[in-house]
Amino acid sequence: MCGITGWVDFGRDLRGEGERAAIEAMTATMICRGPDAGGTWCSAHAAIGHRRLSVIDLAGGAQPMRAPGEDDVVLTFSGEIYNFTELRHELAARGHEFRTRSDTEVLLHGYLEWGADCVRRLNGMFAFGVWDGRRQELLLARDRLGVKPLYYAARQDGVLFGSEPKSVLAHPDFRAEIDAEGLAELFSQVGTGTPGHGVYRGLSQVRPGTLVRAGRDGIRESAYWRLEAREHAGDLASTAGTVRELLADIVHRQTVADVPLCSLLSGGLDSSVVSALAADSLSRRDRAKLATFSVDFTGSADAFTPDQLRPSHDEPFARAAAEYIGSRHSTITLEADDLVTAQWAPLAAHDLPTFGDMYVSFVLLCREISKQSTVALSGEAADEVFGGYPWYHVPALLAAPTFPWAARGSWEPLLRPDVRTRIRLREYAADRYAQALAEVPRLAGESPEDRRIREILYLGLTRWLPFLLDRKDRLSMACGLEVRVPFTDHRLVEYVWNVPWSMKEAGGIEKGLLRAAADGLLPGDLLRRRKSIYPGAADPAYERAIDAQLRRLMTQPDAPLFELISREALTAAYAADPRLPGLMSVQPSSTSPVAFLLDVNRWLERSGVTIR
């Protein structure tokens, strides 16, 4: 896991002192993602940078990596290729010779053998750039589900790219600006962002499953992977058996590491399945007992009140799961002061405003884990793959003519009238929803009910999941921790995508198929536990601290927030309810709307961004 960046320019020589300083500055922004080593490489028209978090072949695998005998074919790569051993054997049989044990070198030789088509052979999470001086072309590629981020900005004579916006923003010729469309993205409901949009003016993301080629004739984008609708063959028993076999193989591949590995264990179904399979995999490899981690908050047990999103408290289930699978479990318990002290860390990691304690607590959890482990497994994406959230099951949300998690809530009432008129937030959201629906693969003969479920599952995988994966990657990598996400393996996603909904909710419970596949892997109470989302802070002291910050902000005459937000509208909304309900349809915690506004103000104040 690493940070990558680069610059291609066909109109200037990038070997000059100023150009080298620029690529060094871009690379330096990625130190958080790659604290172990770094390097840059420059040629006449390409400058490539890399920061490394060493996971596989600690002594080898240094980057940027140059192809043997091809001085002008250079790779910078972030992520993991889980089938690199098989690919290495295949390439060796074709005459390729290897100097290291790294998956990086396998990827480079794969490019030399198959060109851009090498991505179709990869099983993993990855983002990479290959400068091919023979073709005078840069190839950018991103994994199928978009686990690893990759941004780029087209320039008059080339392109800038990097794992995060901060690397592109560090280039002296790129200006941090946000226009009307960027503002609409910023104030859209969570999980409804436009794939490929980078929010900053001129900044794009490489879409999941997509290649971007930059050459002298410009920039071209092409998809190499999409979900396809097909008939499913097999009954529940055989389908559950296939899911179990896939998951066992996926997790076993993802426990390969030359550094300490652990698992995030909340006590929910998803993390418990991953942890149980990981514990078994490590045992088969004669590795040390699996370490597992969970997060909790001071006073959370006493303050816990069940609701639809959190029907049960995590910690007792996390402890029970750890005891059952035999892991070495640690609970990271956070206090209000911890959250306030680290309040701005997610903003620095994301380069954009975030949503409060759900983000801050995850940063703090990752910081503690990184003291003991370099790699962590996570249960993220199971809800999107198997259909675990309430909006897959509540008729009113399914029928809503928009993203179901965004059916209620909008920032529009708080925007200044001129901003509201300029960005047309409701119309923008409607356009993006229509765009998303137009992408959905269809299956002939499906009932209207099954067709709608297919649409919602597609929206979850392509809109909601990227929001979660971005959060997980950016916050964990800010702490030098690699998080692997087994449920995003494209083989599993392709297979389960076409399983009928009646089978996905077998037994009349969400993720019934996953529960059937995990039968015998976990005890009954864990196997039957209902979905409970990531916990929010329970200590009222945190809420009081955030509230006090907003009250102070509302009295500041020159606060930049009010370039976008109406002071009068915010004051009235706050007087009605200080938690500002109704602004965010999905609120990770009661303080999320307030925390977001504080982040927007801080971002405008400190980032140097210009509103155009």
**Catalytic positions:** 2
Tokens of 193: 């962002």
Helix, strand, coil share (%) of the chain residues, nearest 5: 45, 20, 35
**Tell me, what DSSP letter sits at residue 17?**
H
End-to-end CA distance of the chain: 35
Could you count the other beta carbons within 10 Å of the beta carbon of residue 489?
A: 27
DSSP sequence for 395-430 = HHHHHSSS-GGGSS--SGGGB-HHHHHHH-HHHHHH
DSSP sequence for 22-47 = HHHHHHHTTTTT-BSEEEEEE-SSEE
Could you count the other beta carbons within 10 Å of the beta carbon of residue 434?
A: 11
Can you tell me the distance from the alpha carbon of 433 to that of 40, in angstroms, rounded to the nearest whole number?
41
Cis peptide bond prior to 64, omega within 30° of 0: yes
Query: Considering only CA atoms, which of 608, 513, 540 is closest in space to residue 244?
Result: 513
Q: For the purposes of burial, counting CB atoms within 10 Å of the CB of 16, is it exposed (0-12), middle (13-18) or buried (19 or more)?
A: exposed
What is the distance, to the nearest Å, from the Cα of residue 259 to the centroid of all Cα atoms in its chain? 22
The answer to whether the Cα torsion of 211, 215, 220, 222 is positive or negative is negative
Buried b (16+ CB within 10 A) or exposed e, 283-302: eeeeeeebbbbbbbbbbbee
Could you count the other beta carbons within 10 Å of the beta carbon of residue 145?
A: 24
Strand pairing class (46-52; 70-81): unpaired
Strand pairing class (137-142; 124-132): antiparallel
Can you tell me the distance from the alpha carbon of 538 to that of 589, in angstroms, rounded to the nearest whole number?
9
Residue 298 · residue 541 · CB < 8 Å: no
Residue 404 · residue 453 · CB < 8 Å: no
- Cβ-proximal residues to 37 (8 Å cutoff; 6+ apart), any chain: 51, 52, 54, 62
| Widest Cα–Cα separation across the chain | 72
Tokens of 253: 């591949």
